[in-house]
Amino acid sequence: MLLEMRVFGLAIDPITNVPIVILKDTEDKNVLPIWIGPLEASAIATELEKIQMARPMTHDLLKDIFKNLGISVSKIVIADIENNVYYAVIHLNYGNNHYAIDARPSDAIAVALRTNSQIFVENKVLEKSKSVDMGKQVSHIKEGTDKGEDRKAEWLDMLENLSRENFGKYKM
């Protein structure tokens, strides 16, 4: 089953300085943090902040190609998580044809933002993400240590209680 989500914001992991895109469902009951690269975070941030670049960036180029070829993005889906790696699918329509394109979640989200497409997460991803080993996401916390478990609990508590006021502009 799919759950509609939206980009709630971008954050920086305070320990590793790795960007995190945070998705929340429309009722603010479920949160999904996805650790992403700095370039991907920049692509998402420029669209969230409506920053106009002098030349098209990659995701803007994709949007323009889709538009000029008559291709629409019907939705993106964060479809799975395996070994702490998230997988996404961009759903495209061209005429009567439907295409499902494998993508990194950060790229799929950047495309969805630019095309005003819905963002969905498979329920199994939300369930699996609850057991994601934060020790692997935050590389220097050793797996299975009390410190790692404490940090995981801190993160889960923080993410569940996020509000818009917790976010400023993402620093690029």
Rg, C-alpha atoms of the chain: 16
Residue 147 lies in a domain: yes
Residue 120 lies in a domain: yes
Number of domains in the chain: 1
The confidence score (pLDDT) of residue 67 equals 97
Between 132 and 55, residue with greater pLDDT: 55
The confidence score (pLDDT) of residue 162 equals 57
State both tokens at 80.
Answer: 């799975």
Residue 144 lies in a domain: yes
CB atoms < 10 A from the CB of 31, how many? 19
Residue 11 lies in a domain: yes
- Reported confidence tier of residue 169, pLDDT bands at 50, 70, 90: very low
C-beta of residue 30 within 8 angstroms of C-beta of residue 22 = no
Residue 136 lies in a domain: yes
Q: Which value, to the nearest 10 degrees, does the dihedral of the CA atoms of residues 44, 45, 49, 55 take? A: -70
Residue 171 lies in a domain: no
Please give the Cα distance from 75 to 6 (Å, whole number): 12
Please give the Cα distance from 105 to 78 (Å, whole number): 6
C-beta of residue 152 within 8 angstroms of C-beta of residue 142 = no
The confidence score (pLDDT) of residue 130 equals 82
Residues constituting the chain: 172
C-beta of residue 90 within 8 angstroms of C-beta of residue 103 = yes
pLDDT of 44 over the 90 cut: yes
For residue 114, the one-letter residue type is: R
Residue 172 lies in a domain: no
Q: What is the pLDDT of residues 119-164, one digit of tens each?
A: 999 999 999 988 765 444 444 333 344 455 555 556 556 655 655 5
Strands, sheet with 85-94, edge to edge from the N-terminal-most edge strand = 31-35, 19-25, 2-12, 118-122, 71-82, 85-94, 97-103
Helix 58-69 vs helix 105-115: crossing angle, to nearest 10: 60
Residue 33 lies in a domain: yes
β-pair partners for 24: 6, 31
C-beta of residue 94 within 8 angstroms of C-beta of residue 70 = yes
Q: What is the pLDDT of residues 74-128, one digit of tens each?
A: 999 999 999 989 999 999 999 999 999 999 999 999 999 999 999 999 999 999 9
Report the pLDDT averaged over residues 16-45: 94
Q: What is the CATH number of the domain that holds 69?
A: 3.10.690.10
Domain range for 75 is 2-166
